Amino acid sequence: MAELRHSSSLGSRATNSPMKRDAVVGVGGGDASPLIPDSHLAADDEHDRHSSKDRERHVCSFFNDDPRVSPHNSRISVFFTFLLLLVGLVSVFTIFHKLNAPYLCKKDGIVLHCPHVKESPSLWENPFSSTTSWKPCAERRDGVLSDLPPENETNGYIFIHAEGGLNQQRIAICNAVAVAKIMNATLILPVLKQDQIWKDQTKFEDIFDVDHFIDYLKYDVRIVRDIPKWFTDKSELFSSIRRTVKNIPKYAPAQFYIDNVLPRIKEKKIMALKPFVDRLGYDNVPPEINKLRCRVNYHALKFLPAIEQMADSLASRMRNRTGSSNPYMALHLRFEKGMVGLSFCDFVGTREEKVKMAEYRKKEWPRRYKNGSHLWQLALQKRKEGRCPLEPGEVAVILRAMGYPKETQIYVASGQVYGGQNRMAPLRNMFPNLVTKEELATKEELDGFRKHVTSLAALDFLVCLKSDVFVMTHGGNFAKLIIGARRYMGHRLKSIKPDKGLMSKSFGDPYMGWATFVEDVVVTHQTRTGLPEETFPNYDLWENPLTPCIKESVGTARKYDVPTTRLSLKPVSTLADFVFHLHVSSRNPPHIGRCVWSQNVSESDRQQANIPPRGWNSYDSFSWTISEEEFLQSAEIVSQRLHDHGYEYVVVDYLWYRRKVQGAYHDSLGFDVIDEWGRMLPDPGRWPSSEKGKGFAEVANQVHSLGLKFGIHVMRGISTQAVNANTPILDTTTGGAYQESGRVWYAKDIAIRERACAWMPHGFMSVNTKLGAGKAFLKSLYEQYASWDVDFVKHDCVFGDDFDLNEISYVSEVLKEFDRPIVYSLSPGTSVTPAMAKDVSGLVNMYRITGDDWDTWQDVKAHFDIARGFANANMIGAKGLMGKSWPDLDMLPFGWLTDPGSNEGPHRFSSLNLEEKKTQMTLWSMSKSPLMYGGDVRKIDPSTYDIITNPTLLEINSFSSNNMEFSYIISVKSEDQDFGMRRSSKEIKTTTTHSLRLTSCTESKARGWASESLNQYLERICWKRSLGNKHLPPFCVHKRELYFPLLLDEVSMYQEYHQGKYHLVASNKIKFCLDASPKHKLTSKEFKRGTFSPCRWDSNQMWELNPNGTLVNSYSGLCAIIESREDIINSGGLHSWIAVGRKGEVYIAFFNLSEQKMVISAQVSNLAKSLPGRDFSSCEGSEVWSGDAVQITEGTFSTAVEMHGSALIVLNCS
């Protein structure tokens, strides 16, 4: 690979490159060098290199008789063998001593060993085992008591200039907070100093969210926005030596600040610290201070919402560039002119380019340049040591050797590459899908960020952070902050750090072929991907936040005798002052801490589903194909990252019993695993622990060991496969076949074929619960689930359009008899009305009220009217099965998802943007829907995690009351960010629409149908109740005799069974019949009640008009009604909800469903109307997402809400 550095677009010179000599390797296989076209490959074995034979010999051959091995060399070999054995004995003892250490990669020289990695390497993610032992533990714990003194009682004020580029400034800000904590000082908001290279004058508030920064750290450090007013000579602070501490050494220990800086602050009361680049160490600082630095870096320092949203858009566009969702790589390419010059390395180029670079170096770094005579040797040494930036062509070859294909989508974060397009050509030739932010976004979109160079850098930072694979090419703060953040997020995301030292040797080896090079690259970089890595003296906290900021998870905690660092405190002069005394022990395994968050739950809260259930369901991310390994991986992450936030259920969704083989899909027949009694068993191919009749018992046991609860999805009735096999029915009281009336009962005796599940007709059908055998079968099912220690059952195809009240009622009776509580959930929710819900709410704990919810904005919008109806009917938290029941708006389709209805993808990240996800989570919380996360928790991204763990929303979801829609709001249109007087208010209006719906036949308003004769042959059925709008024509359908197939066995029997029933068509000439249930599961956005489809023999299309005026559907037994519906409409598309917290606080959520930014206002007096008896005379408010205070002026409060966004206001009134 010696000539690799010279294969640029300038042309390859004549060479004995091994890429040509080894061309024969690629003739019949896939190991050919990607740099050589196929037409150049030679097929002659004589072209093989001969001088490298010893390189390919097995190591044992050096110990055999071989003329090429001298006796002297043999003796040396024996000596080294003895030495290796001795080292091996020591290693065995060491390994045995550390067997109980948590998952860690350990360095041996420059090589990283990860002994616990068992999975095969993957191009796009780290091995799962790297994510299971560690969890982030630096977030703020809300509700703790702060021991911070008031601002005027601290030891004084400190002020810093954050110098350099964005990421150096970020580190300085983190260090400033830590130093303020060490000295119990008040921190003045840091100033971002103009950098000589960046030439940027960005202020802190131009890039970071100041309010969030101050609020998030309010329990840790006093932070003020500006220099205190009593200090009048502000210029002195910027320039006076008397107000500056200048002698702080790099990487200073905490004790240095106590001994040398604190006394001056106490004397002067306000001091500037400069320079402040890298002025705080790592392993000479207490662990709690390092944890605080992580808290600042990963939680408190948030970019402005506009930056976050633009970055989300760029990341989404990267994943969808090909029209379908794909992973993408982010490449931080550091090959700008300044970097090349500063490195003093030698790079390929023309003589003219080298002369110009020498002149540039002499001008910029004259002391280092001197006369230039020594630079060649220096450049050669630096390259051997791996201290030179990788050229674009070198990066391309390394990535190709790792196995990344030509089609890989690569986001390039870089300045102006030295050498321009010529230098980039080798990289672009091998990976043509190179994209920058300028190509992903329009000029207009980026114009708002060009005012500050750091804003553009922030976009690069976030897009790289969100990438599936991040690749660095040279050191620097940008790369190490990205790698550290991705480690903090769970080590799952790959962050590739090329071994430049090893690569330089490979590139310079004239005898190394492509196959050997590939092997070296793969083996070397298998563990250089951001895995959890043991810390070492003088480690870099920003690149490796383990272990002060990432602790071992609860499920894998082990005991250690000696912590790494011990911290003791003692007072200095006042109770608020303290001094750190560090006692560093020998470097034992890291001290393991546990992060625990708990809600204050009263005894009454322990009833079954007394608060809306919360957890994770596999459907949105795996469809039906999930395996035991994938499920338990997900459960471990829920335990580590979500359980502390109340997520306690992990549910495997449907078809866990279906074999994953060719031909199997969601409605295939004959692929299910059933026992001799016709009951479903887990597919042992996907669930190996279920073999020998164990079912889900072992999976449930592992889930329970993680502190979680286990749930499964089940379908209605009995499977078609069991009916076709005519399996006997189990009598659980005797353990044998069920007998009644002197005979054994079988599956065909209890099955109702006419009531096959509408959207899975080959899968399942109802059972006759009026028969003792039908009840015995259902009882045997749920007793089996209880024997597996199931805690949650999602019962599907029994509600909504598929309503089966008889089965629901009997299952509820069975569940009441068990000693262990099982949460009972119903699905799906199409056509559900509050009247239907009242029939079942006392029998269950949660029930779907919508169609399937996916990641589209139209799906989100469709839930607002539905949620309002159930709140108005007082169904939220109504009495349920052995506790309460909750209307369910379906899972949260965030994060990494499969395609709707598909088995295995293609997978993609949720297409909802940040504002839309906030809106959905806020509505779900305000309406107290169960919260079931649907995305792949193994790939959960930071913004999604922040949303689904937002403590205010979770508090509302669990403990609020009086949840309802609030109609008294004003919409205010905004044209730009400066609202000023550019406002025109309009009040919300309502409109009345009508739709055909299904409801319980016991409801009085269902009796609104009547038959009319048009002539002696034609008859129609019309809705006679008032529609509330004289302009709407009456709803009528025409009666038609049932359509029978031409070749139907037992026609007479079916005619007798369906006597008196008929099809309903829109007109006598159209052969489309009114259909009560769709043939597939519909999403919320596409569901329309009362659909017409081609007439067929299907009980969904069979209707019967009763004398009492009810129109009954044969499939569901529900009655059709025409219902009026009040919609809130205006050009802004606004909604609002309110709720009351358990401490008396009032929550107001504003939702902007429009296509433009709006300002929404409400009056306190109208809140008093909706919440009578509450005192609103004096209120203070704040907005949750932004952290901004909400001003109440003349009884009115307002806030700006982004398009498709939401605002959540908390009012505390007295």
Q: What is the b/e burial string over 136-150, where b = at least 16 CB atoms within 10 angstroms of the residue's CB?
A: bbbbbeeeeeeebbe
Q: Which residues pair with 766 in a beta bridge?
A: 752
The enclosing domain of 892 has a CATH number of 3.20.20.70
Query: Which pLDDT score is estimated for 605?
Result: 42
Query: Which pLDDT score is estimated for 1028?
Result: 55
Query: Which pLDDT score is estimated for 307?
Result: 94
Query: Which pLDDT score is estimated for 978?
Result: 39
Q: In the predicted model, is pLDDT for residue 992 greater than 60?
A: no
d(CA 983, CA 968): 18
More confident residue, 1083 or 838: 838
The enclosing domain of 183 has a CATH number of 3.40.50.11340
Same domain as 929, residue 1013? no
Q: Tell me the average pLDDT of the chain.
A: 80
Q: How many domains does the chain have?
A: 6
Query: Which pLDDT score is estimated for 465?
Result: 94
Determine whether 980 is exposed, middle or buried from the number of CB atoms within 10 Å of its CB (0-12, 13-18, 19+).
exposed
- Residue holding tokens 């993808």? 905
pLDDT digits (tens, 9 = 90+) for 140-172: 866 555 667 877 789 999 999 898 889 999 999
d(CA 313, CA 466): 11
Instruction: Kindly report which listed range (529-533, 634-638, 979-983, 1190-1194) carries the lowest average pLDDT score.
Output: 979-983
Same domain as 254, residue 360? no
Most confident of 142-146, 379-383, 592-596, 1157-1161: 1157-1161
Q: In the predicted model, is pLDDT for residue 294 greater than 90?
A: yes
Q: In the predicted model, is pLDDT for residue 8 greater than 80?
A: no
pLDDT digits (tens, 9 = 90+) for 914-926: 999 999 999 999 9
Continuous H helices in 1023-1110: 1051-1057
d(CA 629, CA 686): 8
pTM summary value = 0.58
Same domain as 888, residue 913? yes
Q: The sheet that has 1146-1152: what strands, in order across it? A: 961-965, 1134-1140, 1146-1152, 1206-1213, 1179-1183, 1189-1190
Angle formed at CA 776 by CA 772 and CA 781, multiple of 5 degrees: 155
- Residue holding tokens 């809260």? 605
Give a yes or no: residue 330 inside a domain: no
| 902: confidence class by pLDDT, cuts 50, 70, 90 | low
Q: Which of 907, 939, 959 is the last residue of a domain?
A: 959
Same domain as 1134, residue 1124? no
Domain that holds residue 1067: 990-1128
d(CA 282, CA 269): 27
Give a yes or no: residue 355 inside a domain: yes
Q: In the predicted model, is pLDDT for residue 799 greater than 50?
A: yes
d(CA 430, CA 1206): 44
d(CA 1090, CA 996): 5
Residue 1030, helix vs strand vs coil? coil
How far from 461 is each of 303, 332, 442, 470, 951, CA to CA, in Å? 10, 9, 19, 11, 27
Length of the chain: 1214
Determine whether 37 is exposed, middle or buried from the number of CB atoms within 10 Å of its CB (0-12, 13-18, 19+).
exposed
| 410: confidence class by pLDDT, cuts 50, 70, 90 | very high
pLDDT digits (tens, 9 = 90+) for 427-467: 999 999 999 999 999 999 998 898 888 899 999 999 999 99
The total of other beta-carbon atoms located within 10 Å of residue 968's CB is: 16
Average pLDDT over residues 26-44: 41
| 1137: confidence class by pLDDT, cuts 50, 70, 90 | very high
User: Is residue 197 within 8 Å of 338, Cβ to Cβ?
Assistant: yes
Same domain as 220, residue 361? no
Average pLDDT over residues 682-709: 95
Q: In the predicted model, is pLDDT for residue 74 greater than 90?
A: no
Average pLDDT over residues 1202-1214: 93
Give a yes or no: residue 653 inside a domain: yes
- Residue holding tokens 């009655």? 1119
Q: In the predicted model, is pLDDT for residue 91 greater than 90?
A: no
| 21: confidence class by pLDDT, cuts 50, 70, 90 | very low
Q: Which of 918, 940, 959 is the last residue of a domain?
A: 959
Q: Which of 1128, 1149, 1174 is the last residue of a domain?
A: 1128
Instruction: Kindly report which listed range (213-222, 725-734, 803-812, 1074-1083) carries the lowest average pLDDT score.
Output: 1074-1083
d(CA 1214, CA 1207): 23
Query: Which pLDDT score is estimated for 331?
Result: 96
More confident residue, 45 or 693: 693
Give a yes or no: residue 17 inside a domain: yes
| 20: confidence class by pLDDT, cuts 50, 70, 90 | very low
Same domain as 940, residue 860? yes
CA 970 to chain centre: 35
pLDDT digits (tens, 9 = 90+) for 928-943: 999 999 999 999 988 9
Same domain as 1002, residue 976? no
Angle formed at CA 485 by CA 905 and CA 949, multiple of 5 degrees: 65
Strand 157-162 versus strand 186-188 pairing type: parallel
Query: Which pLDDT score is estimated for 719?
Result: 97
Give a yes or no: residue 201 inside a domain: yes
Same domain as 1013, residue 977? no
Most confident of 582-591, 593-602, 1205-1214: 1205-1214
SS (H, E, C) 806-848: HHHHHHHHHHHHCCCCCEEEECCCCCCCHHHHHHHHHHCCEEE
Same domain as 1118, residue 1006? yes
d(CA 399, CA 409): 12
Give a yes or no: residue 443 inside a domain: no
* Helix (H) / strand (E) containing 1127: strand 1119-1129
d(CA 919, CA 1077): 30
| 282: confidence class by pLDDT, cuts 50, 70, 90 | confident
- Residue holding tokens 């054995």? 85
What backbone torsions phi and psi does residue 621 show, to the nearest 5 degrees?
-105, -20
Average pLDDT over residues 936-963: 95
Q: How many helices (H) and strands (E) does the chain have?
A: 37, 56
CA proximity to 719, closest of 761, 666, 688: 761
More confident residue, 13 or 670: 670
Q: Which residues pair with 1201 in a beta bridge?
A: 1158
Determine whether 134 is exposed, middle or buried from the number of CB atoms within 10 Å of its CB (0-12, 13-18, 19+).
buried
The enclosing domain of 1151 has a CATH number of 2.60.40.1180
* Helix (H) / strand (E) containing 426: helix 420-430
Instruction: Kindly report which listed range (22-31, 841-850, 1016-1025, 1051-1060) carries the lowest average pLDDT score.
Output: 22-31
User: Is residue 1165 within 8 Å of 1197, Cβ to Cβ?
Assistant: no
* 677, amino acid identity: W
Same domain as 1046, residue 1187? no
Same domain as 673, residue 717? yes
Same domain as 861, residue 728? yes
Give a yes or no: residue 311 inside a domain: no
CA 789 to chain centre: 29
User: Is residue 102 within 8 Å of 556, Cβ to Cβ?
Assistant: yes
User: Is residue 330 within 8 Å of 463, Cβ to Cβ?
Assistant: yes
Give a yes or no: residue 905 inside a domain: yes
Establish how many alpha carbons lie within 13 A of residue 598's alpha carbon, considering only the half-sphere containing its beta carbon: 5
